Structure 1
Amino acid sequence: MTSVPGPWFLSSMAKQTARKTTRKTKPKPQAARPGLFRRLRRRAIRAVLVIVALLFLWILAYSVLPLPGTFYMLAESGRQGVRVDYQWTPMERISPALARSVVAAEDANFCNHWGFDLTAIRAAISEGGQRGASTISQQVVKNAFLWQGRSWPRKALEALITPLVELTWSKRRILEVYLNVAEFDRGIFGAEAAARHYFGVGPEELTARQAAQLAAVLPAPKDRNAGTPGPFVRRRAAQIVDGAATIARDGRSACFED
């Protein structure tokens, strides 16, 4: 005679079956990770695309709008005893002599390159980095969009943004921005402030000699004086006068002149 399992036995079997079913259907923690990683990756990509789009809009805006200032101006205004003098001035109100002088002094091949002067870069490398190779375009990118310093992240961003500026701005616009944001003395930014600070005239009234003296202080504006120039600035200014006449004569100023 076959015995029939009691209720306690059937109840125990049902519990064991339920536990096995629960163990089999319970999702493994590892299974959720790929989905989480995919979501995080999509969000990161979206964030990068948003940043790139905003940067591109920023670059386009500065291709037509006057710059309200730069990060460096903001930093200088926070220094004790420094008063920033800056007033945006359109290219039409800046002496052509100053435009030619600055190009002759800082980037004689400005009209011929696309943001990077490979000849100057090779020369700087051959001299062991003792001379600078930054073009006016690179300096505009550094001043308008980035921070000061020689860190690799800043240099990498500068290398990425410079071609975008060259692609979307005219050469005349790049030089216009440079002439407005360049520092000519402690807290003195741009052609308007520099012309009145040193010579008591508007930027459209600068003579060739005055323009050359302003251009001569650009590499070290806090150590040189355009109004009462020392021997080095006088010699450098004389060279710049000749250089400005040369680029006007051989057509290397054509990209920014009317």
Structure 2
Amino acid sequence: IFMLLFLIIGGNEVVPHSRPYMAYLNIQVSNETGTYPSSCGGFLIRPGAVLSAAHCVRVEVTVILGAHNIRVRERSQQRIRVRDWVIHPDYCPDTLSNDIALLKVWTNKSFLPQGYPPNVQPISLPRSNDHVKPGTICEVAGWGRTSRRGNSTNVMREVELRVQSEEPCQEHFDDYDPDSMISVGDQNSRKSTYCGDSGGPLVCNKKAHTMVSHGLESRLFPKVFTRASYFEPWIRRQLRSFALQELPASPSSQ
């Protein structure tokens, strides 16, 4: 049974606003029983564009940029109701393959290419031939739960995780694809992502090499992350498409 990942286990609170590329996705999920709130992570990759996991995108999504404590209306925060996004055409909700989406976000004019607010900055992506090696220690941040039975954290936390060889994920996930996915985690299961961190970046050597995707409900290791370098050509095509759209006269923020 897959578990969508939304949490940081075994990590620490980051210095406020030290990860200015991070985005918090406030999501309203609707089903047969009604509507309930959910959340995910994401990250800014250029002015007006946030990358996240496809399984995070629902009918109603609000992106919060420049946040540390998402339960407080910090002056640095920019809240944007997302009205346009693109999910990878080959995304499969059953296997969570191609679990990637690009969201178009517009804020005030200071956020556009001529300048950024100090607490909102994009992060670089790897090129399509830029691979992170097994054994590399990377960082993943988010606002997810801090234990299996605990509550979500209000402040951004971060944990260091090791990029693994393909074997752990190939053993536990029938649909694991080493071209488009990366196996990540702590073999001792003391540190992990969990509920609330989906869509957040795994940062290796100051680049967002992967994003949190999914794991098994019964265990904390290993986790499957979406390989950003594999999707780099698709991301660039979508960014060009976004750029063709005329900028709105006013921000669609709330």
What range describes the TM-score normalised by the shorter chain of this pair? under 0.3
Higher RCO (CA 8 Å, separation ≥ 6 residues) = 2
Normalising by structure 2, report the TM-score: 0.27
- Counting helix residues as a fraction of each chain, which structure ranks higher? 1
Normalising by structure 1, report the TM-score: 0.27
* Structure with greater Cα Rg: 1
- Counting strand residues as a fraction of each chain, which structure ranks higher? 2
